[in-house]
Structure 1
Amino acid sequence: MRLGAELEVIAEQLKSLAKAQDRLHDLYEAVIGREVDLSVVLQLIVDTAMELVGARYGALGVLGENGRYLDRFIPAGLSEQERADLAGVEFPHGRGLLGRLITHPEPLRVDDISAHPDSAGFPPGHPPMRTLLGATISTRGKIYGDLYVAERRDGQPFDVHDEALITALAGAAGLAIDDARLYEQTRLDAEHFQRLLLPRLPDLRPFSAAADYRPATTPGHIGGDWYDALLVPDHACAAVIGDVVGHDLQAAAAMAQIRNMLRALLYDQRTPPSTVLAHLDRALAAITDDPVTTACLARIEPVQPDAWTLRWSTAGHPPPLLLTPDHPVGYLHADPDLPLGVDTAQPRNDHTHPLPASSTLVFFTDGLVEHPAYPIDTGLGRLAALATEHAALPLQEFVQALADHHPSDGHDDMAILALRTPRA
């Protein structure tokens, strides 16, 4: 009977080890294969630690730049009431028992927190805790932070087996955090590169112009959205918005190449937008291998001192949005031609619409309105309502409001270009 009981204990320990191995594997796979957002990785580490040892509470403290105190604390396991009780209480900075791992970076196992000489007590509203197990997380030979669990659900103190699991997890966590930080820096560098490729709008007087670009919320998502505007020699104002298919650095580089070629064609050829897009399409097919691109190219041409004509051509792109003083907001719908890079033999068409004084034109990419939960027309309708609501704002604030309150799900890049004709 005694031997049978011991075998059952060994069997349970083997199951626990197998489960721990699976959780460590899941953590690594989550970081490397699916999830690389650092905040999600940190929360996943805490949740994994609690599950490995059956702890009720867990936390991960991140050291500040000076390496002496915690400047970030990710707790887990707190109930809604416990979180409410701690509302307004400053998170721990590692000055009490939690700080021991900072000054003594080796595993810490405590059976009675209040009796430990380094214990500094708990703040008001803190749930009671008696047992604690902690381990140091290091990345590239430098202490990154500390991983803690408290209160086993079975009421027993943490044992040597638990300590080994948490120590192993802390080692794996260091690798996962390092990968996530490296990926985050790469993403930020790529985003910075993409912003450098976008133009700074020139002086377009007598017109007002404003633009905004927002990267996708999806980690690693770099897009090919772009905009541009310039005054051309025949006193018209040319504007373009475009989106290169793809979400990587290749799409961003293609965007820069297409934008520069288009700018040269716009300035040199005083021709309708459809002709310019046709020239651009043929040039791209002949000398580049750039991917498919949607675009909307427009010219605002003066006809009277207080009136203009909008002439535009669409290559598979969403229609412009027009706000005028005397008419409700509306889209300039027209049958779109094929995107660039599909078939250069197909004809391209121009469309015209009068523009009175104080009109506002909004060009945008589909990332501003697309949402998987509803059709594109719903997103377009919500954008029109949003534009109506903020129409009285100065142009830059107007564009920022559209970007801040966009009806899309944010999983694609978005670019906005707005032009406003002078007052009468």
Structure 2
Amino acid sequence: MRLEMFDPAPIGVVVTQGPDHRLAYTNAVYRRTFGDRPLGRTVRDAFPDLAQSGYFDMYDRVYATGTAEVLTSVPVDLDYPDAPYEGTRYFTFSISHATMSDGRHGVLAVLVEVTDQVTASERIRVLSEERRRVLQRYRSLVSAGSQIVWVTDPEGVVSEPSPGWERVTGQSWEEFRGDGWADAIHPDDRDTAVASWRRAVTEQVPLWSRTYRLRLAKGGHRHFAVHAAPVRDGDTVIEWVGTCTDVEQEWRETRREELLARATTATAGMARLDDMLAALSGVIVPDIADNCTIHLLPHALHRPPGTPLTAERVAAVSGPGLPELPPHQEEHLDPGSPLARAADGRSPVHAVFPPGEPPPDLSPPGTAPWLPPGANSVVLLPVVVDGVTAALVTASASGDRPPLGQEEISLLRTLLERVHTPLSKAMEYQRTRQVALALQRSLLTDPPDVPGLDIAVRYRPSTAAAEVGGDWYDAFELRDGATVLTIGDVAGHDLPAAVTMGQLRNMLRGLTLDRQEPTGTILRRLDVAVQTLYADCTATCVLARVERRDPGGFLLQYSVAGHPPPLLVDADGTARFLTAGHSPMLGLVPRPEYDSAVEPLEPGSTLLFYTDGLVERRDEDLTAGLERLRRHAAGAVTRPLQAFCDTLLTDQLTVDNDDDVALIALRVPGDR
């Protein structure tokens, strides 16, 4: 064997000869690896630090038997000054029998260093074991907290089974793996959740968090908080690890507080009961129910239980895909109807049933359908204020939505309890307004039937203000044949103003009937009574006396106490305000004097008295409202007197007029 042939070999080569294995040859790679060991010395002398390792026993066996042996990835610890490296390194040895060129026998050893491969492999093994242990610890910890743990590959695709997921959702591994997990998400949450997850994987966010509903193995859905984070090897994401935690209770509590806050905000600053309940219905749908209607019971104070029920629907809100109902409608309900039963019992009526199949007691034969199509449950909740059922809230769920249950009933109760104080105030106002309107309407009688004259009256309560005004009108005949017309307005917008209005109206009637005096004198006597009996009261008034004159026509005598001027429209459409006979308002000036004025009423002429609600607007000067009235009256004078009054109300009033309006019109018949 010519040993020089191994000089260029890229692996280490060493040749020993004789039974004591003296170094006969080392090539360059060997010398760079182990240092320049002196030739002629035994391997045990040349490598004293390896003498106890047992490696050299192989030399003895190979020399004796001639059978080659191989050691794979064995550690070699070197520590001597001539070696370029220190510490443990790994080599693969191949040792075989060799015969020299001179016939002597020896051993040929070939070695390859595999330190990098062994180190990398060991590092991977250690990392894998560490990951396995960490994951096992994490799973054990999570299992103790009743969470779900799941693992995906770097692309976000589920790559390992999750016993927790299977236990909660009922999905098998085959159903869960890949992207199958998305099938367990509630359909309303699925698309947004999947899109968010894909975006997180693409952007490799440090933490992905989401809350969505999962379908349960036992049926229904619950909210779970989902968190996932990437597992990195350096800068490379090698997988994702995530958890799902049941947060249904926390979600319900948060939702509850949010809804209550929304209800409080929605009803803030409202005084009208119907406005407040309408705002609440917008909170109930769609967060609690798919449909909500609210009925006011305007006659609840005086209705005996078991009698027919008049309910005014003031709000109706439906979710997407459900038919809309008109929000304002009066309904007359039989005593046995579900709404009447809930009102009389003052306790909820609750029913759960197959979609679209309500029980007979909720939909008696011959009654109009009142539940939305596809409804699966309904709650009729009476709103009891100060012991009286003031309103009824009807909520229903439809289709695939879980039926309404005790939790929703409790939430509805709490919603209404949060607004009990404003509801009580609104109910008190409702009572006051009903009394005031009843008083006011009882005093606003029909005008008398006077031969030769047409008289029409109108009264419109405010549609926007929360108060009742003190407007009034009156018309009656005196014993001498004259006709008295009067109109007035007591300052204030409440029940006391309405009461005072009634007292002043009746007092003026008595003073006018007592003696035949000029209208100014009668108003002066009325003012003395006002300042004596009602110290803080002020009012405006027009008092007019219409007498027949010879040879024809009529004569108007009138006085104005701080009130808007009467309007006279001639048969040809000429319209002008009567500005004479004006004096201060009642209750304002000590010892006032009131003037009287006289104006002829020609055939075909129309005389109009009105309160300031007909001409006043917040955003303009009073003169603009007066001019508008003059123009509209001139244009409408050719119409019959009743139509004339209706036209003026339509033309003059806005949808949200914020004051009461009273008017009285008189027309002298004639050819026009």
TM-score greater than 0.5 by the shorter chain: yes
Say if 1:133 and 1:163, in contact at 8 Å, map to a contact too: no
Question: Secondary structure of 2:456's partner?
Answer: strand
Give the structure 2 partner of residue 91 of structure 1.
none
Aligned-pair Cα RMSD in Å:
4.8
One of 272, 280, 285 as aligned partner of 1:45: 280
Question: Secondary structure of 2:583's partner?
Answer: coil
Separation in structure 2 between the aligned mates of residue 116 and residue 302 of structure 1, nearest angstrom: 70
Kindly provide the amino acid, as one letter, of the partner of residue 284 in structure 2. A
Separation in structure 2 between the aligned mates of residue 127 and residue 268 of structure 1, nearest angstrom: 64
Say if 2:581 and 2:594, in contact at 8 Å, map to a contact too: no
Separation in structure 2 between the aligned mates of residue 225 and residue 218 of structure 1, nearest angstrom: 16
When residues 83 and 20 of structure 1 are mapped into structure 2, their CA distance, relative to the original with a 3 A threshold, is closer
Q: Deviations over 1:98-140 (max 9, x none)?
A: x8xx999665678x847999999xxxxx9997x9664330346
**What does residue range 72-221 of structure 1 map to in structure 2 within 5 Å?**
74-77=315-318, 113=355, 134-138=378-382, 139=384, 147-148=394-395, 150=397, 163=408, 166-169=411-414, 172=417, 184=430, 186-218=432-464, 221=467
Separation in structure 2 between the aligned mates of residue 202 and residue 105 of structure 1, nearest angstrom: 51
Deviation at 1:147, TM superposition (A): 3.2
Tell me whether 1:341 sits opposite 2:341 in the alignment: no
Tell me whether 1:34 sits opposite 2:270 in the alignment: yes
Corresponding pairs, count: 398
Question: Secondary structure of 1:34's partner?
Answer: coil
Give the structure 2 partner of residue 374 of structure 1.
620
Q: Deviations over 1:12-40 (max 9, x none)?
A: 5543332233245457x65xx733333x3
Kindly provide the amino acid, as one letter, of the partner of residue 35 in structure 1. A
When residues 337 and 18 of structure 1 are mapped into structure 2, their CA distance, relative to the original with a 3 A threshold, is same
One of 394, 409, 412 as aligned partner of 2:659: 412
Tell me whether 1:225 sits opposite 2:461 in the alignment: no
* Higher RCO by CA contacts (8 Å cutoff, separation 6 or greater): 1
Kindly provide the amino acid, as one letter, of the partner of residue 410 in structure 1. N
Say if 1:61 and 1:72, in contact at 8 Å, map to a contact too: yes
Deviation at 1:239, TM superposition (A): 2.1
Separation in structure 2 between the aligned mates of residue 83 and residue 7 of structure 1, nearest angstrom: 35
Deviation at 1:364, TM superposition (A): 0.6
Say if 2:378 and 2:404, in contact at 8 Å, map to a contact too: no
TM-score by length of 1: 0.73
Q: Deviations over 1:375-396 (max 9, x none)?
A: 3333333333433343233333
When residues 141 and 331 of structure 1 are mapped into structure 2, their CA distance, relative to the original with a 3 A threshold, is closer
Tell me whether 1:254 sits opposite 2:470 in the alignment: no
Say if 2:444 and 2:473, in contact at 8 Å, map to a contact too: yes
Kindly provide the amino acid, as one letter, of the partner of residue 380 in structure 2. T
Say if 2:278 and 2:314, in contact at 8 Å, map to a contact too: no
When residues 128 and 144 of structure 1 are mapped into structure 2, their CA distance, relative to the original with a 3 A threshold, is closer
Q: Where do 5+ consecutive residues of structure 2 fail to align?
A: 1-137, 148-224, 226-244, 298-305, 327-337, 364-370
In terms of mean alpha carbon deviation, does 384-393 or 243-252 score higher? 384-393
Q: Deviations over 1:301-343 (max 9, x none)?
A: 4553224443322211111111111351222235842210001
**What does residue range 262-277 of structure 1 map to in structure 2 within 5 Å?**
262-277=508-523
Question: Secondary structure of 2:292's partner?
Answer: strand
Separation in structure 2 between the aligned mates of residue 67 and residue 261 of structure 1, nearest angstrom: 40
Percentage of identical aligned residues: 30
TM-score by length of 2: 0.49
Kindly provide the amino acid, as one letter, of the partner of residue 58 in structure 1. N
Give the structure 2 partner of residue 391 of structure 1.
637
Question: Secondary structure of 1:305's partner?
Answer: coil
When residues 306 and 327 of structure 1 are mapped into structure 2, their CA distance, relative to the original with a 3 A threshold, is farther
